């Protein structure tokens, strides 16, 4: 039997400052996949949360004059609130300061140590607190007398301390074989190539504990050390499934994860360290890691330290949530970096959402209301012009599912945009207002147009769920599991009355 469970995760975010657009982006993308798979009949577990240990958080708390946990409680709550604001359909929200997570992380440590995968030595080298990452000399440059990481641009400091090491070097060949055997483990392919060359370039053992500060999960066998925050954080994906209880239903159903959605900045941790830890602990690695691009502010990654933050809540207050979700999914080419500007967002609302979609829904329903007393008649006779449009959905059904399973969001949304154009063109070309004398043809055109609205709305649901639910009120249809299949059914709408719906998207007046 086909496995109908699907486990998708976002990165767990550092609660060092309030969430910004970059965080919202990862979560919205994961929500798109979660909602699509549910609509396809999958039992989906969608996880997000906050990554609360380590020096970065400890310092941020100090700067704010707070104890680390009190500080995390406060900021983690803003991330939790954002899940509501963004209408995320997550099943759980994990915090790494929770007991369930500490237990799971300690368990991983114990296994690795027992298996001889961890040894005590001394670390001396560069460390970036902002990235919580160790860097080699080659990865460092000097700018204005300060050392920083060449890629992230984050400041680094010299660290010399006793540390436990994970025998990462030992896993080099196994990892390369794993990438070969699982050619779609890392997507997009361009990023996969970067990771593979990094691993082929030779892996050094990885420092996995810190001794010079206390804010972390103590190493179970030596409480002078805390676990390296990335080993701690990555384990969250298991903790939420009640690991180490491998008999637990959640763990049995959902591990290994189907998809970790992450930003390209943290690919190395997810595509190299994480599978290595898991392989060493005899746990199956996840099936896929997708490293998306950045939301840029100007031409730079948005980050607190650069002071160029775009606040998703401000945008939502001005333009609404679904326009933002639609924009991020359509206008940021998935896999690449993208920009968000109010001008582009306004254009997108006006042309795609208000004109192409909203207006189509309004025109067809108003026409039906005025000319047919809001009655959907099944006294219809479909001809090729109607059926051709329906078959766009039936013939492409497998392709649509494949787009999603390959994380090809760009093709998915292009398909929708094409269908919206086609539906609008159909309604214009058929000129139903001239067919009042031919009842059957009139019924057919209106029925077809409504049916096209229903089909495209189902595909839009994972992107703009609130709006799609409003649209479905036309037909008195609630979204339920398995309703993706119904786009192949052309006689799904029942006869009866359609409901009026409010204007879905208001056009933004521009004074230029």
Question: Applying CB under 6 A, does 432 fall inside the site for ligand MSP?
Answer: no
Q: Which is nearer to ligand MSP, 151 or 417 (CB)?
A: 151
CB of 154 to ligand MSP, least distance (A): 11
Q: Which of 8, 266, 468, 487 contacts ligand MSP by CB under 6 A? A: 266
End-to-end CA distance of the chain: 59
Instruction: Please state, in angstroms and as integers, the Cα–Cα distance from residue 453 to each residue in 146, 147, 421, 506, following that order.
Output: 58, 56, 12, 18
- Judged on CB neighbours under 10 Å (0-12, 13-18, 19+), 386 is buried
Q: Which is nearer to ligand MSP, 263 or 285 (CB)?
A: 263
CB of 28 to ligand MSP, least distance (A): 10
Question: Applying CB under 6 A, does 22 fall inside the site for ligand MSP?
Answer: yes
Q: HSE on the CB side for 331, CA within 13 Å?
A: 23
Q: How is the beta sheet containing 295-297 ordered, strand by strand?
A: 300-301, 295-297, 338-339
CB of 158 to ligand MSP, least distance (A): 23
Neighbours of 412 (CB within 10 A): 24
Q: Which of 133, 149, 295, 453 contacts ligand MSP by CB under 6 A? A: 295
Q: Which of 13, 255, 277, 390 contacts ligand MSP by CB under 6 A? A: 13
Alpha helix positions (H), 86-228: 99-114, 172-181, 189-200
Question: Applying CB under 6 A, does 25 fall inside the site for ligand MSP?
Answer: yes
Span near ligand MSP by CB under 6 A; candidates 6-14, 140-148, 448-456, 496-504: 6-14
3-state secondary structure 239-289: HCCCCCCCCCHHHHHHCCCCEEEEEHHHHHHHHHHHHHHHHHCCCCCCCCE
**Using CB under 6 A as the criterion, what x/- string covers residues 198-237 for binding ligand MSP?**
-----------------------------------xx-x-
Q: Which is nearer to ligand MSP, 120 or 279 (CB)?
A: 279
Question: Applying CB under 6 A, does 320 fall inside the site for ligand MSP?
Answer: no
Sequence-ordered list of residues with C-beta below 8 angstroms from that of 243, at least 6 positions apart, any chain: 104, 107, 235, 251, 255
Return the DSSP state at 130.
T
Q: Which residue is nearest to ligand MSP (CB)?
A: 22
Question: Applying CB under 6 A, does 7 fall inside the site for ligand MSP?
Answer: no
Q: Which of 118, 302, 328, 459 contacts ligand MSP by CB under 6 A? A: 302
Span near ligand MSP by CB under 6 A; candidates 5-13, 110-118, 359-367, 419-427: 5-13
Instruction: Please state, in angstroms and as integers, the Cα–Cα distance from residue 473 to each residue in 39, 377, 496, following that order.
Output: 17, 18, 13
CB of 401 to ligand MSP, least distance (A): 25
Q: Which of 88, 262, 361, 368 contacts ligand MSP by CB under 6 A? A: 262
Span near ligand MSP by CB under 6 A; candidates 116-124, 262-270, 392-400, 415-423: 262-270
Q: How many helices (H) and strands (E) does the chain have?
A: 19, 20
Q: Which of 6, 23, 442, 454 contacts ligand MSP by CB under 6 A? A: 23
Q: Which is nearer to ligand MSP, 22 or 465 (CB)?
A: 22
Residue 420: name the closest of 449, 447, 383 by CA.
449
Q: Which of 31, 117, 265, 451 contacts ligand MSP by CB under 6 A? A: 265
Neighbours of 344 (CB within 10 A): 13
Question: Applying CB under 6 A, does 14 fall inside the site for ligand MSP?
Answer: yes
Q: 49: phi > 0 → left, psi -120 to 50 → alpha, else beta; which?
A: left
Question: Applying CB under 6 A, does 188 fall inside the site for ligand MSP?
Answer: no
Span near ligand MSP by CB under 6 A; candidates 150-158, 295-303, 351-359, 475-483: 295-303
Q: Which is it for strands 118-128 and 157-166: parallel, antiparallel or unpaired?
A: antiparallel
Residue with tokens 């999603």: 404
Which residues 41-60 are close enough to bind ligand MSP by CB under 6 A?
51
Sequence-ordered list of residues with C-beta below 8 angstroms from that of 249, at least 6 positions apart, any chain: none
Question: Applying CB under 6 A, does 240 fall inside the site for ligand MSP?
Answer: no
Q: Which is it for strands 186-187 and 289-292: parallel, antiparallel or unpaired?
A: parallel
Total residues belonging to the chain: 512
CB of 311 to ligand MSP, least distance (A): 13
Q: Which residues bind ligand MSP (CB under 6 A)?
A: 11-14, 22-23, 25-26, 51, 233-234, 236, 262-263, 265-266, 294-295, 301-302
């Amino acid at each position: 039997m086909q496995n109908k469970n699907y486990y998708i995760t976002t990165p767990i975010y550092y609660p060092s400052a309030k969430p910004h657009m970059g965080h919202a982006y990862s979560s919205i993308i994961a929500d798109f996949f979660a909602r699509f798979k549910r609509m396809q009949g999958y039992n989906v577990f969608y996880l997000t949360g906050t990554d609360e240990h380590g020096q970065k958080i400890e310092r941020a708390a100090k700067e704010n004059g707070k104890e680390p946990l009190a500080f995390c409680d406060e900021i983690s709550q803003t991330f939790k609130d954002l899940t509501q604001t963004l209408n995320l359909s997550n099943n759980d929200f994990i915090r790494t300061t929770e007991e369930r997570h500490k237990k799971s992380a300690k368990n991983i440590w114990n296994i690795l140590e027992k298996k001889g995968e961890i040894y005590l030595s001394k670390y001396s080298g560069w460390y970036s607190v902002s990235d919580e990452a160790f860097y080699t000399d080659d990865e460092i440059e000097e700018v204005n007398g300060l050392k920083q990481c060449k890629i992230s641009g984050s400041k680094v400091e010299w660290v010399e301390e006793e540390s436990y090491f994970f025998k990462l070097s030992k896993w080099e060949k196994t990892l390369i074989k794993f990438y070969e055997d699982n050619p779609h483990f890392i997507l997009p392919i361009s990023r996969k190539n970067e990771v593979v060359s990094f691993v082929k370039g030779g892996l050094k053992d990885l420092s996995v504990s810190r001794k010079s500060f206390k804010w972390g999960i103590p190493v179970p066998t030596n409480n002078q050390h805390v676990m390296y925050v990335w080993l701690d954080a990555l384990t969250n994906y298991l903790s939420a499934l009640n690991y180490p209880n491998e008999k637990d239903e959640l763990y049995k159903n959902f591990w290994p994860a189907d998809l970790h959605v992450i930003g390209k900045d943290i690919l190395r941790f997810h595509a190299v360290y994480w599978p290595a830890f898991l392989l060493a602990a005899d746990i199956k690695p996840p099936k896929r890691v997708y490293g998306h691009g950045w939301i840029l502010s100007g031409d730079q990654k948005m980050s607190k330290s650069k002071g160029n933050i775009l606040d998703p809540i401000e945008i939502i207050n001005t333009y609404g949530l679904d326009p933002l979700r639609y924009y991020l999914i359509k206008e940021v080419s998935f896999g690449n970096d993208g920009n968000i500007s109010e001008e582009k967002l306004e254009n997108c609302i006006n042309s795609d959402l208000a004109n192409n979609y909203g207006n189509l829904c309004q025109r067809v329903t108003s026409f039906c209301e005025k000319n047919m007393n809001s009655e959907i008649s099944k006294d219809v006779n479909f001809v090729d012009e109607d059926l051709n449009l329906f078959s766009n959905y039936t013939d492409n059904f497998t392709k649509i599912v494949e787009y999603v399973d390959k994380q090809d969001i760009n093709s998915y949304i292009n398909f929708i945009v094409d269908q919206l154009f086609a539906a609008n063109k159909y309604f214009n070309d058929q000129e139903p207002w001239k067919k009042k004398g031919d009842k059957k043809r009139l019924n057919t055109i209106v029925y077809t147009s409504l049916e096209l609205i229903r089909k495209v709305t189902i595909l839009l649901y994972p992107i703009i769920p609130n709006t799609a639910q409003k649209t479905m009120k036309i037909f008195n249809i609630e979204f339920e599991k398995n309703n993706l299949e119904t786009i192949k059914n052309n006689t799904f709408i029942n006869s009866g009355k359609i409901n009026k719906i409010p204007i879905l998207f208001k056009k933004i007046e521009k004074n230029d």
